[in-house]
Amino acid sequence: MRRTRPHRRAAALAVAAAVPLLGGCGIQESDVIEAGGPATVEAFYNRSEEVILFFRTPDGRLNPVIRTVGSSPGFGDEYTEPGPAGTIGPPTTEKAIAELLTGPRPKDRAAGLTTALPPTRPGATIKIDPTSGSTVTTHLPFPLKDLNTTALRQLTCTIAYSKDPGGRLTVKLTGQDGGSHSDTCGLPSGTPG
Amino acid sequence: MIPLPRRGRNTEPAEGRRTGPEERSRVRAFGLRTRLLAAFLLVAAVSAGTTSALTYREARNALLKTAQDTAVSTFREQVQQTGFGLPVQEEGMEEVLRDLARKGKPRPWVVFAEYGSVRASSGENPVSTVITPGLRRAALANPYGSFERVVKDGVLYLTIAMPTVFRTGPYDTLPSGLVLYAVMRMTDEQINVDALLTAARDGALPGLAVALVPGLIAARSVLRPVRELRRAARSMGSGRLDTRIAVRGNDELADLADTFNESAAQLEDSVHELREAEARARRFASDVSHELRTPLAGMLAVTEVLDEDADHLDSDTARAVRLVSAETGKLAVLVEDLMEISRFDARAAELNADEVDVAETIRKTLQNRHWTEDDRVHAELPTGIRARLDPRRFDVVIANLVGNALRHGGAPVTVRLRTGERPTGTPVLITEVADRGPGIHPDSIPYIFDRFYKADAARTRSAGSGLGLAITQENVRLHGGTIRAGNLPEGGAVFTVEIPLHAEEATA
């Protein structure tokens, strides 16, 4: 008995020495590790002529696309008049919503983008109430109850980014049926580094 | 008598016998040397191992961190120099990616792009098999660059996910939905880290070898004094009481050596004193005997005259005179015996050995004592046995034993002579003196040859001096023989004397 005790102690020491030696040989796999911010790329977005529309990706997320307002034929043209003050301002929210409602173009479809919004008759009136504070109220020419979450978010984000470059606005949607929905876009926005 | 270690005696066989353990100790499994070395090696292994392991880990982590951070920031910078229209279009994408891949620093990487259903890459497959779903999820959930080390088919890859954002205003950005991935082999890093590992291991092993040297030195510094101490202790045990150890240094072992030396000196002093006291006592006994001899001789002469005239004295006076005469005779015997034993003690007794016919010698002894005239003593003496004996001393032996048997045992006393062999093969002369008396009490047998030992405590006065058996034993020893006392199974005591037939060989 007297002899085994130092041996046991020695074994424990050897194990203690061996653990750090054996525990980290070579390079192991790692978890996903965050390393700095995203890359800011040039998307050639011109706020005075273009609007950001949000369409649905195959995996159910929203991707922004940039669309030049006015280049579209048809009913879009009548909205390219100068702003109330007579100066050339950014495209109005009504135009952005109208563009969103026309749905993805072939280029968008090629990238797998779709819309969750129902097809709309051309010429339907979209009315925006004058902005009060950080809330913008939009009256839509169709009932809200037919829209799913993705469709509501498409509308919310498109409206928010047309009014504010950061999209930090609360958007209230009211439909023909009198239903209403109030939300923020909630996409992660940031300041360029 | 104090059993003293005798100088120079029995040392050779003792030394020869004890070389065994000394050799065994050199290969002892858990000896002091082994344990000390093991402890040194263990400490060295733990420290070298821990140091190497920690250094290696730190270096590896630093190396990886540098490589990863460089790769991630380079990739981000390169991606930031590109532009994409939204929605991202598949055509033209591959050229952009190949351009990115070419600019990969420090090593080329494969760049993948994922947007909506668009999948493009700078390599052959549009979709990477290395990128994990976890990395994709992280890149899409948070607009942060992220990386992951992945081992696939034994190859280590660094996969970087770089989500892209674009400016929506001077101060605002929006995730574009386009995520670029870079996949890079970490071969160089792996080689470097392997080199680090080899270096750590190769550094630790020589460290262990180097630790062996101080271990051996330390073991030696401990073992040498211990070995010296053992040698000295053995030397003391074999009688060399003047053995001392050289005291080196000032440590515990030096203290031990010091203590050993002190103890040895004290022991030597004590033994010296005892020897002197014993020598004085022997000298005293010898001197007393000598001094008593002369007056006793006179007294013996006077008592002889008185004895002759006792018949003419009145009965009371005659009895007194005879008593005085008898006691004076006993005293004379006692003094003679004392002087004899003093000579043995002083080692002054000499053996005057001669080749004799043993049967003849014994017969002469019995005749001289007038023991053969009646049936009290019966002798069985085969003729033709010759041995080298001191006739005078052998006569004393036989006479003492027979006289003792007649006095304390019972007639008839039998003297038997034969030859035999010791277990060692030495031929011996065996003389047995047996009586038909009550035998010796078993408790007395161990002390029967002691001086003045009285087997029967009640019988304080006996005809003998009390030294007869002691002198007998000394005489037998002088012949190189042994004497034993015992009892016969059929009753009666028996004394067996064994003397080598060729006394010179035994005493040589």
Q: Where are the domains of chain A?
A: 50-184
In whole angstroms, what is the distance from residue B500 CA to residue B508 CA? 12
Q: Closest partner residue to B165 among A29, A40, A112, by Cβ?
A: A40
The whole-number pLDDT of residue B503 equals: 53
> The complex's ipTM?
0.78
Contact B346, B375 (CB under 8 A): no
| B328 token code pair | 């004076």
pLDDT means per 10 residues in chain B (508 residues)?
43 42 54 82 83 83 86 88 83 84 78 87 83 87 87 86 86 86 83 80 78 84 84 88 84 86 91 91 86 88 86 85 87 87 83 88 89 83 87 90 85 88 86 88 86 65 74 90 89 90 54
Q: Kindly report the nearest CA distance between residue B83 and chain A, in angstroms.
A: 4
The predicted pLDDT at position B18 comes to 43
User: A with B: how many residue pairs have Cβ under 8 Å apart?
Assistant: 220
Please report the DSSP string for B400-411 in residue order: HHHHHHHHHS-S
User: In this predicted structure, what is the pLDDT of residue B219?
Assistant: 84
| Cis-peptide, bond into residue A130, ω within 30° of zero | no
Instruction: List all residues 6 or more positions away from B175 whose beta carbon is below 8 Å from its beta carbon.
Output: A38, A64, A187, A188, B143, B163, B164, B165
pLDDT score for B270: 93
CA separation for the pair B475, B497 (Å, rounded): 11
Residues 6+ apart with CB under 8 A from A116: A56, A147, A148, A150, A151, A154
**Distance in angstroms (rounded) separating the CA atoms of residues A105 and B90:** 15
* Chain B residues near residue A190 by CB distance under 8 angstroms: 143, 165, 172-173
Find residues 105-124 of chain B whose CB sits inside 8 Å of chain A: 115-118
Residue B507 is predicted with a pLDDT of: 44
Q: Closest approach of chain B CAs to the CA of A141, in angstroms?
A: 27
Residue B505's pLDDT is 44
Tell me, yes or no, if A119 comes closer than 8 A to chain B by beta carbon. no
Q: Are B134 and B156 in contact (CB under 8 A)?
A: no
Tokens encoding A114: 């779709």
Identify the band that residue A24 occupies on the pLDDT scale cut at 50, 70 and 90. low
Phi, psi of B100 (to 5 degrees): -65, -40
A35-49, A65-79, B201-215, B246-260: lowest mean pLDDT where? A65-79
Scored b (16 or more CB within 10 A) or e, B214-242 reads ebeeebeebbebeebeeebebbbebbbbe
The C-alpha torsion from B14 through B16 and B22 to B27, rounded to 10°, is: -140
Distance CA B79, CA B83 (A): 8
Alpha-carbon span B181 to B109, nearest angstrom = 10
Q: Write the single-letter amino acid at B500.
A: P
Please compute the mean of the pLDDT values over residues A85-101 and round it to a whole number.
72
* A177-192 mean pLDDT: 76
Q: Show the CA angle centred on residue A134, arms to residues A129 and A136, nearest 5°.
A: 25
B86 in contact with A, Cβ within 8 Å: yes
CA pair distance B99, B492, nearest whole angstrom: 127
Distance, in Å, from the CA atom of A49 to the CA atom of A51, rounded to the nearest integer, reads 7
Q: How confident is the model at residue A39 (pLDDT cuts 50, 70, 90)?
A: confident
Chain B (152-211) residues lying within 8 Å, Cβ to Cβ, of chain A? 156, 160, 162-178, 180, 186, 189-190, 193-194, 197
Q: Which domains does chain B have, with CATH numbers?
A: 31-238 (3.30.450.20), 255-345 (1.10.287.130), 354-507 (3.30.565.10)
B126 to chain A, any CB pair closer than 8 A? The answer is no
Q: Mapping DSSP to helix (H, G, I), strand (E, B) and coil, where does residue B486 land?
A: strand
Q: How far apart are the first and last CA of chain A?
A: 69
Contacts of A192 in chain B (CB under 8 A): 165, 167, 171-173
Which of A33, A41, A63 best tests the B interface by mutation, with the highest count of B CBs <10 A?
A: A41
Q: Work out the minimum CA distance from B171 to partner chain A, whole angstroms.
A: 5
Which residue matches tokens 């004497």?
Answer: B483
The residues facing B269 across adjacent strands are none
**Higher per-residue pLDDT: A106 or A12:** A106
Task: Using an 8 Å CB-CB cutoff, list chain B residues near A37.
Answer: 76, 143-145
Residues of B in contact with A33 (CB under 8 A): 68, 146-148
Distances (CA, A) of B8 to B11, B98, B240, B271, B480: 6, 101, 8, 16, 18
How many CB atoms are located within 10 Å of the residue A68 CB?
12
Q: Which amino acid is at B45?
A: A
In angstroms, the first-to-last Cα distance of chain B is 25
Residue type (1 letter), A26: G
How distant is the Cα of B21 from the closest Cα of chain A, in angstroms?
Answer: 22
Helix (H, G, I), strand (E, B) or coil at B325: helix
Lowest mean pLDDT among A114-123, A170-179, B117-126, B445-454: A114-123
Distances (CA, A) of B281 to A30, A187, B285, B471: 96, 120, 6, 18
Structure tokens at B473: 């034993």
Contact A156, A173 (CB under 8 A): yes
